[in-house]
Amino acid sequence: MAAVREFAARHTGQGADEFAAEELAAELHLTGASAAGQMDYACAGRGPAAEGDRAAGRAWAPVP
């Protein structure tokens, strides 16, 4: 999930934003819609602190 968030952060504000999901889809062998959903999920306010809490067992979240 962190890698998808990093990918999305690198593509924010660039002219080719409209193709970012398709580029990610090609790398992860997903459909464009699925890759867009993964990018939305990764960037929906789930920061590194929340990821650390889940890894330490202090918070629960479903595995995407």
Residue 64 lies in a domain: no
pLDDT in tens, 7-57: 887 876 655 577 888 999 999 999 999 988 888 887 775 555 566 666 666
- Contact (Cβ atoms closer than 8 angstroms) between residue 8 and residue 46: no
Using the Cα atoms of residue 42, residue 26, residue 64 and residue 38 in order, give the sign of their dihedral.
Answer: positive
Looking at per-residue pLDDT, the higher value among 1 and 47 belongs to: 1
What token pair was written down for 31? 């459909």
Domain assignment of residue 17, yes or no: yes
Domain that holds residue 28: 2-55
Q: Is 62 domain-assigned?
A: no
Q: What is the pLDDT of residue 59?
A: 56
pTM of model > 0.75: no
Position 37 in a domain: yes
**How much is the pLDDT for 58?**
61
Structural domain count of the chain = 1
40 domain residue, yes or no: yes
- Is 46 part of any domain? yes
Residue 56 one-letter amino acid: A
DSSP 29: T
Whether 64 shows a pLDDT value over 60: the answer reads no
